[in-house]
Amino acid sequence: MSAAATSVGTLKLDAMTTREIAEAAKQASRGLATLDEARRTAALAAMAKALEAASAELLAANAEDIDAAESLRGADALPPATLARLKLTPAKLREMAAQVRSVAALPDPLGRALDAIEMDAGLEMEKISVPLGVLAVIFEARPDAVTQIAALAMKSGNAVILKPGREVERTAVALVSVLREALAAHGLPQDAISLVLGRERVSELLGMHTLIDMVIPRGSKSLVEHVQANTRIPVLGHAEGVCHIYVDKAADQAMALRVIDDAKTDYPAACNAVETVLVHREIAAEFLPRLAERCLARGIAMHGDATVRELMRDVPAISTVDDWHTEYGELELSIGVVASLDAAMEHIHEYGSVHTESIVTADAEAAERFLREVDAASVMHNASTRFADGFRYGFGAEVGVSTSKFHARGPVGLEGLTTYKYVVRGSGHVAGDYRGEHARAFTHRRKA
């Protein structure tokens, strides 16, 4: 058990079982599903305001997490980047509150008529977007994840159970406490935003497929794979992002360099950063030295196949590609030469992670074949893989990126936190009237 507080409003972290917490969340989700947009928006506004008002206590809780983290030594010590993400400041808190307000301002994802059909006179079917129910989100040492996830859940009418990383537990407890109080003050169910601490709680949550509708693991590849392998609950996320850029023989080479540079250096740790560049054989001798020059200038370490190493004999320090499946997450790049567009697509299907794949070419036909035939969540032509992102796609907010083909694929916005139901309104209609000799016929008129 952690050193964090053990009670968050009505939530008794020690005294309640994980099942009790999940059941309370399910109960709260039923209430949420009936709230109209105005009430959900008001709740989000209250949440943002409460975060600002509680600034002092939130910073104090965070200071305890920071103290504990800084006292870790040796193998347990946190990397500076993690420490920086863990730390709350007044400015960061204001940003978090602003983010909650911007989620509030997004179009309502609920109650949209996705389809509407008149089945017969007086018998109408509507397909309406509704919340999923209860989300369980497992995340690492980021305080802003708490408020962002809580805001997305509230906007989409879902209850959420948060499981923060150990380093951020005190901050998370303080944040959830503030958010729950804001809900309660508005007559909304506190258990719409809930929390569990401790690794053993995760295993328990993963077993509750009758209470939890979706798990979102945000973290390392091993975390995501562990979750995927150990639950019957649908998982939203991706374990890896091994993205490719294929430089076709008809590529504008200067454009290819610019796109590769951006896709590798803009944010190397991102899942949509490029890991492998494939170059068409016919331009390899000309293009590879230019690519090497760019990589050296940008501090990108190169790993090549035999052809690449042969063609770049003069370039120092090109190592062999050990494993085309590698997601470097750093300034490193695998480089290979392929005989054709087909060979490039085969390589991508063999080693890619169906996340994001891009072709650079001036040949429209080759581009269209690539866009059509490559099986990935995002496929791109003459553009950096880094554009595969919910904000850049215009979704306003991003829950994560899914490499599943089911439900939500690619960058996932609020829509990915909804499902739908069919609503049928009749006036005593019975199915038996539509069969047999004097059967009524369905009209099946699609409505606007």
CB atoms within 10 A of CB 146: 27
| Closer residue to a copy of itself in complex, CB, 55/404 | 404
The CB-of-71 to a copy of itself minimum distance in angstroms stands at 35
Residue 7 contacts a copy of itself per CB under 8 A: no
Q: Using CB under 8 A, which of 228, 253, 326, 340 touches a copy of itself?
A: 228
CB atoms within 10 A of CB 241: 24
Give the C-alpha separation, 42 to 47, whole Å: 9
Residue 281 contacts a copy of itself per CB under 8 A: no
Residue 19 contacts a copy of itself per CB under 8 A: no
SS3 of 196, please?
coil
Within 54-119, residue ranges assigned H as helices are: 55-70, 80-86, 90-104
Residue 25 contacts a copy of itself per CB under 8 A: no
Burial label for 300, CB within 10 Å (0-12, 13-18, 19+), is buried
| Closer residue to a copy of itself in complex, CB, 69/273 | 273
Q: First CA to last CA across the chain, in angstroms? A: 55
Site residues for a copy of itself, window 121-150 (CB under 8 A)? 123, 125, 130, 132-133
User: Do the Cβ atoms of 229 and 215 come closer than 8 Å?
Assistant: no
Q: How many angstroms separate the Cα of 315 from the Cα of each of 297, 330, 331, 403?
A: 12, 20, 17, 36
Residue 62 contacts a copy of itself per CB under 8 A: no
Give the C-alpha separation, 213 to 235, whole Å: 9
Residue 447 contacts a copy of itself per CB under 8 A: no
The DSSP bridge pattern shows strands 123-131 and 410-412 to be unpaired
**C-alpha radius of gyration, the chain, whole number:** 25
Burial label for 262, CB within 10 Å (0-12, 13-18, 19+), is middle
Q: Using CB under 8 A, which of 252, 282, 305, 332 touches a copy of itself?
A: 252
Q: Which of 446, 436, 390 is nearest to 414 (CA)?
A: 390
| Closer residue to a copy of itself in complex, CB, 100/135 | 135
Residue 232 contacts a copy of itself per CB under 8 A: yes
DSSP 106-134: SPP-SS-EEEEEEEETTEEEEEEEEE--E
| Closer residue to a copy of itself in complex, CB, 45/128 | 128
In the block, residue with structure tokens 């497929």: 209
Give the C-alpha separation, 115 to 117, whole Å: 7
Q: Which of 336, 24, 368 is nearest to 180 (CA)?
A: 24
Q: Using CB under 8 A, which of 87, 92, 349, 440 touches a copy of itself?
A: 349
Q: Using CB under 8 A, which of 7, 70, 422, 439 touches a copy of itself?
A: 422
| Closer residue to a copy of itself in complex, CB, 197/366 | 366
Site residues for a copy of itself, window 146-175 (CB under 8 A)? none
* Binding piece for a copy of itself, criterion CB under 8 A, among 73-81, 87-95, 261-269, 310-318: 261-269
The CB-of-120 to a copy of itself minimum distance in angstroms stands at 9
Give the C-alpha separation, 197 to 200, whole Å: 8
Site residues for a copy of itself, window 355-384 (CB under 8 A)? 360, 367, 369, 371-373, 375-384
What type of residue sits at position 44? L
Residue 182 contacts a copy of itself per CB under 8 A: no
Q: Using CB under 8 A, which of 86, 159, 388, 414 touches a copy of itself?
A: 388
| Closer residue to a copy of itself in complex, CB, 48/376 | 376
Q: Which of 376, 352, 374, 371 is nearest to 361 (CA)?
A: 371
- Tell me the per-residue interface mask from 81 to 120 with a copy of itself, x by CB under 8 A, - otherwise: ------------------------------------x-x-
Q: Using CB under 8 A, which of 84, 313, 406, 437 touches a copy of itself?
A: 406
* Binding piece for a copy of itself, criterion CB under 8 A, among 194-202, 224-232, 283-291, 299-307: 224-232
| Closer residue to a copy of itself in complex, CB, 24/61 | 24
The CB-of-396 to a copy of itself minimum distance in angstroms stands at 9
Q: Which of 263, 381, 273, 283 is nearest to 337 (CA)?
A: 283
| Closer residue to a copy of itself in complex, CB, 318/379 | 379
Q: Using CB under 8 A, which of 394, 438, 441, 448 touches a copy of itself?
A: 394
Site residues for a copy of itself, window 29-58 (CB under 8 A)? 30, 33-34
Residue 66 contacts a copy of itself per CB under 8 A: no
How many residues touch a copy of itself under the rule CB under 8 A: the total is: 75
Q: Which of 376, 365, 298 is nearest to 332 (CA)?
A: 298
Residue 410 contacts a copy of itself per CB under 8 A: yes
The CB-of-150 to a copy of itself minimum distance in angstroms stands at 21
Q: Using CB under 8 A, which of 428, 437, 438, 441 touches a copy of itself?
A: 428
Give the C-alpha separation, 125 to 446, whole Å: 10
Q: What is the DSSP letter of 441?
A: P
